[in-house]
Structure 1
Amino acid sequence: MEQAQTNAQRIYDQVLTFATLYGGRILLAILTLIIGLWVIGWITKLLSSVMTKRHVDRDVQPFLLSLVNAILRVLLLLSIASTLGVETTSFVAIIGAAGLAVGLALQGSLANFAGGVLILTFKPFRVGDLISAQGFTGNVEAIRIFDTILITLDNKTIILPNGPLSTASITNISTRGTIRVDQVYSVGSQNDLDATKASIQKAVDSCPYALKDRTHDILIAKLNANSRDYDVRVWTKSETYWDTYYYMLESIARQFAKDGIEAPKPKMFITNEE
């Protein structure tokens, strides 16, 4: 019993000594962490507001905010280490060595970082552009340090690594402001040529997304045994590409039905050999 009390007293004395020597530092480090994180958040919001007011390129804003946030957090970590009595010079050397090891282990992430810098420098696309890349099509929502966020046309979020994105082919649909919607329609060869073209023209003229100052093409693309293929090319704004695409499909289907334009009918030729 006495041995247990002695051990308890010894533990109590050690805890009391530790609290006396380091309690203040630990409490100060915790306060520094809480206040530091709040200050970093405040600085980030302030910087975002300033960049918005000064019309800084919105493609660059997320990149700069992420970079500043990371640097401030590293400085906060060094400050906390100094508060706890850790030699910052040794700590910086440890961070440098750890950074080298992590860098070697995360070469792909470094490639993504370099890709992000290239994208922001050469600007193959901007925030808000409609692009096709890596097998996905969507609007660019943000360009971050390591990745780019796309919002697809069906409202899915796609995160593309900047490394492959900066070195692969990218189709920027929004660059020119206008785009051509190409579609092919097949009708039976029994339909009159002029009547078919007139029916398609009515559908094009009724499209609210078709540009009025551009010429839209209705061309015979191919003559088949029992059908004809028509290339229909309608110019529209980049942001209304899919609206135009689906409108034309429905409009032409309705117009063909209204004008009596028939679909291709298979033909069978039977010969009687005696």
Structure 2
Amino acid sequence: MDTFLDWITKNSDLIIHYAIQGILALIILFVGMRIAKFCESLTEKGFEKKKVDKAVGSFVANIIYALVFAATVLMALSQVGIETTSFIAILGAAGLAVGLALQGSLSNFASGVLIIILRPFKSGDYIEAGGRAGSVQKIEIFSTELKTPDNKVIIMPNSAIMSGPIVNYSREKTRRIDLVIGVSYDSDLKKAKEVLKAVLDADSRVLKDPAYTVAVHELAASSVNFVVRPWVNTTEYWPTYFDLVENIKVALDEANITIPFPQMDVHLHKD
């Protein structure tokens, strides 16, 4: 114990020096993190003020946060006496090794950059990609956040989105509803066609241009199938879809036109 106290007494100036440097390094780290967070928030607000897509602002803000935070760590290490030049060289070598080990993460980052450059979708768009579908909430460095209609949040790696087809349901202002309506072979086809057209004409959400299509599509096994293809505004797609299905069923019932069940005729021959 006496030896330890003697060592502290002899090296008190050195201990105080490194203690002060350590405290300053912690202060630099704390302040730097706050500055990084402030820069991230300021960037997002700046993009929002310029009315740039929210997803783009979030992506760029994340990159700025990472750069400021990395600079802060280097300053804190320099404060405690660690040679940052050699540290950067070591960090570069370690970064190469880590990069090889984390090829997937680097692929996600590169895909995130491509998403920002190519702009296949923007914040708020409803998309289908990588086997998942949802509304785009934000694009981050390595992943994109989607929200499903039933309020589930999906965090998708950016590489999974860019590695396959992307279906953007929100980009165009109009969409076509595709319905297949089957009527029995005994039904009057002209009357059935008139009933289907009347239902479409009665719905104000169905657009006049482009014009809708009502036509016999096929003579199926159990029914004669019509295709009913009206155009609507994208924002009104699902409400119109559901209402048309219901209204068509009601109108066909009132006109005594049967929608047949799938059926099979069996013929027995007695020997």
Q: TM-score, normalised by structure 1?
A: 0.86
Aligned to 2:245: 249
1:24 pairs with 20, 26, 30, which one?
20
Alpha-carbon distance between aligned partners in 2 of 1:15 and 1:179, rounded to the nearest angstrom? 78
Aligned to 2:231: 235
2:230 is paired with a residue of what secondary structure?
strand
2:232 is paired with a residue of what secondary structure?
strand
Are residue 60 (structure 1) and residue 46 (structure 2) matched? no
The Cα of 1:143 is off from its aligned counterpart by 2.1
Distance 1:182 1:21, change over 3 A: same
Aligned to 1:221: 217
Unaligned runs of 5+ in 2: none
The amino acid of 2:228's aligned partner reads: V
The Cα of 1:10 is off from its aligned counterpart by 6.0
Aligned to 1:172: 168
Aligned to 2:88: 92
Are residue 134 (structure 1) and residue 133 (structure 2) matched? no
Kindly report structure 1 stretches of 4+ aligned residues shifted beyond 4 Å: 7-19, 269-274
Are residue 83 (structure 1) and residue 79 (structure 2) matched? yes
Are residue 48 (structure 1) and residue 44 (structure 2) matched? yes
1:132 is paired with a residue of what secondary structure?
strand
2:224 is paired with a residue of what secondary structure?
strand
Deviations 1:9-67 (A, max 9, x none): 46876996774232111211222222221122222222222222233444421221111
Distance 1:197 1:156, change over 3 A: same
Moved more, 15-24 or 86-95: 15-24
Distance 1:67 1:14, change over 3 A: farther
Unaligned runs of 5+ in 1: none
The amino acid of 1:190's aligned partner reads: D
Aligned to 1:158: 154
Alpha-carbon distance between aligned partners in 2 of 1:47 and 1:226, rounded to the nearest angstrom? 62
Distance 1:14 1:166, change over 3 A: farther
Residues paired across the two proteins, number: 270
The Cα of 1:131 is off from its aligned counterpart by 1.8
Contact persistence 1:137–1:152 (CA under 8 A): yes
The Cα of 1:246 is off from its aligned counterpart by 2.2
The amino acid of 2:73's aligned partner reads: L
The Cα of 1:7 is off from its aligned counterpart by 6.6
The Cα of 1:258 is off from its aligned counterpart by 3.0
The amino acid of 2:32's aligned partner reads: G
Alpha-carbon distance between aligned partners in 1 of 2:106 and 2:191, rounded to the nearest angstrom? 61
Alpha-carbon distance between aligned partners in 1 of 2:59 and 2:269, rounded to the nearest angstrom? 77
Percent of paired sites with the same residue: 35
Aligned to 2:116: 120
Moved more, 67-76 or 92-101: 92-101
